[in-house]
Chains A and B, each alone.
Chain A
């Protein structure tokens, strides 16, 4: 079983209008709701690969129940801790005429010490059913900056591999606990340990630094669909080719999902095979209009569009 943690999920609301006029009445052609959040996206991609997954984290209010229902309808097992405050919402206004996307993002809800204690209790129990756990994304107000580090400790003590995909203090403190895999979340800042990631060489330096700091495998993305993978002894450059990207949201999460699926399947995949599969998951996600792809066939179709070079 692959478990995912989403501490700050969101209900993504996409409102489509023909031509947005500020300060005027606007008719919405279509309103679509999606369960969002990095860990949730990982679970969606894992499920699309045909594998079982449990999603845990914080949810609150009616929005939280909508997210929970949506995930269960996709076949994702849930065990969220329901907090008093409501889950945040991201509203995206899509102006068809100008092809503009306006994002209105809410702050996450405040969680308290009791919520954190309860979530860690759930996390401990869920580890008894897990082989790998992914810890992804931002954290809401009230969450200590070492929560991922605490979770990595628990996971390791229970024989579960932890994959960390976060930023800032959560990432550096998590790395101190030596997770199985670490990938910095570069959405808000392209800097990792003072290294600005612009070129391949920067990504290589960052990937090596992450290994030095304790991860068994590191992944650093740079530019669109280009990644560096590193272990203690090896480095790989991987990129995808020959494709039409529609939507990059969720591609990095699909990559994490692909690695989690590869490392928990019984056929002893090599790291290179895992890289190919994960890059294919990312590509399949980028080629889908939704945040994630629908089936493993879409991933298989992308396997030949991945170039991997050992450095």
Chain B
């Protein structure tokens, strides 16, 4: 099965000069956790997720997330987010972005998602963003395929 048949056909991306507070607003309104970073030609040049933001603004937060001191760290995190809110996302994004071609198959996408511990992969056609794929989409398709068979 080709990725183009199961991907989410949404090409929402953010420019690298987008401010952190604007990005958080987009993620919250769209109820997603991350977005591809694109240039003005809609070519994918990075990826930014909530995880990247937390990691950059409060490096030890993720390490102690299961400890008893999570509340005080959370207060620190919100303070840090506020301080960094006017910085461009280019300072936080992953620049070595993993992408898949729309004609690749779902096994490759699943492998890349699991191996790299990421939730969403940008799907491209001739470098331009044409969609995103998540493990949920792949699982949903596999279950449907099994039910239909």
Q: Which of B15-54 contact A (CB under 8 A)?
A: 15, 26, 29-31, 38, 40-42
- Interface 1/0s, chain A 124-141, versus B by CB < 8 A? 111011000000000000
A77 x B30 contact (CB < 8 A)? no
B10 x A82 contact (CB < 8 A)? no
Name 11 extra pairs, CB < 8 A, besides A77-B9, A78-B10, A126-B11.
Answer: A60-B29, A65-B30, A65-B31, A77-B11, A77-B131, A78-B11, A79-B12, A82-B30, A125-B42, A128-B42, A129-B128
A72 x B42 contact (CB < 8 A)? no
Sample of 20 A–B contacts (CB below 8 Å)? A65-B30, A68-B10, A72-B9, A75-B9, A76-B9, A77-B9, A77-B11, A77-B131, A78-B9, A78-B10, A79-B11, A80-B12, A82-B30, A83-B29, A122-B12, A124-B40, A125-B38, A125-B40, A128-B41, A129-B128
Which A residues form the contact surface with B (CB < 8 A)? 54, 60, 65, 68, 72, 75-80, 82-84, 121-122, 124-126, 128-129
Interfacial chain A residues near B31, Cβ < 8 Å: 65
- For the complex of A and B, list the 6 residue pairs with the smallest distance between their C-beta atoms, beginning with the closest: A82-B29, A77-B9, A128-B41, A125-B42, A79-B11, A72-B9
Minimal beta-carbon separation of A295 from chain B (angstroms): 18
Which B residues form the contact surface with A (CB < 8 A)? 8-13, 15, 26, 29-31, 38, 40-42, 128, 130-131
Interfacial chain B residues near A54, Cβ < 8 Å: 11
Please report the C-alpha to C-alpha distance between residue A79 and residue B8 in the assembled complex, in whole angstroms: 11
Please report the C-alpha to C-alpha distance between residue A294 and residue B31 in the assembled complex, in whole angstroms: 30
Please report the C-alpha to C-alpha distance between residue A78 and residue B132 in the assembled complex, in whole angstroms: 11
Interfacial chain A residues near B15, Cβ < 8 Å: 121
Please report the C-alpha to C-alpha distance between residue A126 and residue B13 in the assembled complex, in whole angstroms: 11
B39's closest neighbor in chain A, by CB? A125
Interfacial chain A residues near B30, Cβ < 8 Å: 65, 82
B40 x A128 contact (CB < 8 A)? yes
Q: A128: which of B26, B128, B130, B131 is its contact (CB, 8 Å)?
A: B128
Minimal beta-carbon separation of B29 from chain A (angstroms): 4
Interfacial chain B residues near A60, Cβ < 8 Å: 29
Please report the C-alpha to C-alpha distance between residue A80 and residue B11 in the assembled complex, in whole angstroms: 9
